[in-house]
Amino acid sequence: MDLFKVYRLWDIEPARGLDTTIWDKNGTEYMDFYGGHAVISIGHSHPHYVRMLSEQLARLGFYSNAVQNSLQKDLARRLGKACGYDDYSLFLCNSGAEANENALKLASFHTGRSRILSFCKAFHGRTSGAVAVTDNPAIRSPFNYTGDVSFIPLDDLNAAERELSSGSYAGVIIEGIQGVSGIHMPQDNFLRELRSLCNKYGSVLILDEVQSGYGRTGRFFAHQFSGIRADIITTAKGMANGFPIGGVIVSPDIMPSYGMLGTTFGGNHLACTAALAVLDIIENEHLIENAAKKGEYFHAAFHPSGQPDHALAGYRGRGLMIGLHLKPEYTGLRERLLFQEHIFTGAAGADVIRLLPPLTISFETAARFMKSWHRLTAKEEKQPS
């Protein structure tokens, strides 16, 4: 049996990692500026994380949700305190897509309605309900299409009111920052007005913070820059530093009932231990503050004279969630960063490089990246691709 080939793979196999560094099986060293799709929040192989998981595995790796698991309650309490939603409840699952599926389901249960409002260029996952609210026909099968989902442009307040005023929408789902489409931020005022519209027309506001959450932007959740509170928040990627987990943070106004949601593996002992270790490290090492400071460093470094770097058509993002919109002659830079400078980065199409490094990144590592960037863009100026 072979693998079902749905990924384009670089011919690189990481073998070990430490903080923001990865070594492949041949011993080649790389800087990690992608964190495996924004998953690595506390760096690779953090000793506290490794120790907590090892000790928990030696005690008990798994049992079902039919019995008490105090680790889940500890995680709910700690997460609520860390993110400022301590009066909300937590449902634990296994991934961001699953978190979004459950959020959509809760909105529908709560309102008795079926329709969902989403946004152009949105990405919420690849499972059935999550992909239905994702604006990418390439990853939707005929089975996933539904007349109960509408898409409007980001920041279009008139379109939002036109749709929501029908009174037929269970909820609105929006990313704190759109990641997969190339780091597009909803305006803070738009989020505030969207919050008001959801209140006015009885729709549930769902903030997808799967990629933009867990301190990556310099706040625990990206939507907190706007000062709003969502009805439901979904989280996953940075939550357990690579151990599969997802979370749905639910307003006290939304009442649960037995059997409404369920999961086999969600909130298991190892997943909760990994998530608790991540919160320990985020708090003890002040990683949210570090993300904000390093975001300021990169913004300044990519705007040396007050204007975007000469290779860029634009710079987008907050904290350590950065989109570098390349000019056409520089669209090969991601491959050059990987194969010439040995730096992992992400992409959104051919013209956007995404930087999503671990939140532990140092000023030294950030400066090394900028040296590599200038080395490649200087060459590109002489020999445009």
3-state secondary structure 251-269: CCCCCCCCCCCCCCCCCCH
The pair of three-digit structure tokens given for residue 80, joined into one six-digit string: 């609520």
pLDDT value for 385: 42
Mean pLDDT by 10 residues, the chain (385 residues): 92 97 98 97 98 98 95 98 98 98 98 97 94 92 87 98 98 98 97 98 98 98 98 98 98 95 97 98 98 98 92 97 97 96 95 98 98 86 44
354, 34 Cβ separation under 8 angstroms: yes
pLDDT value for 379: 53
Q: Is 214 left (phi over 0), alpha (psi -120 to 50) or beta?
A: left
Q: Give the C-alpha separation, 278 to 283, whole Å.
A: 9
Whether the pTM exceeds 0.75: the reply is yes
pLDDT value for 313: 96
> What single letter denotes the amino acid at residue 20?
T
Strands 169-175 and 204-208: parallel
Among 166, 171, 165, 162, which residue's Cα sits nearest to residue 118?
171
Q: Is 38 left (phi over 0), alpha (psi -120 to 50) or beta?
A: left
pLDDT value for 383: 45
* Cβ neighbours around 190 below 10 Å, total: 17
Cross-sheet strand order for the sheet of 343-344: 14-18, 21-24, 29-32, 343-344
Among 373, 20, 334, which residue's Cα sits nearest to residue 182?
334
Q: Give the C-alpha separation, 87 to 251, whole Å.
A: 8
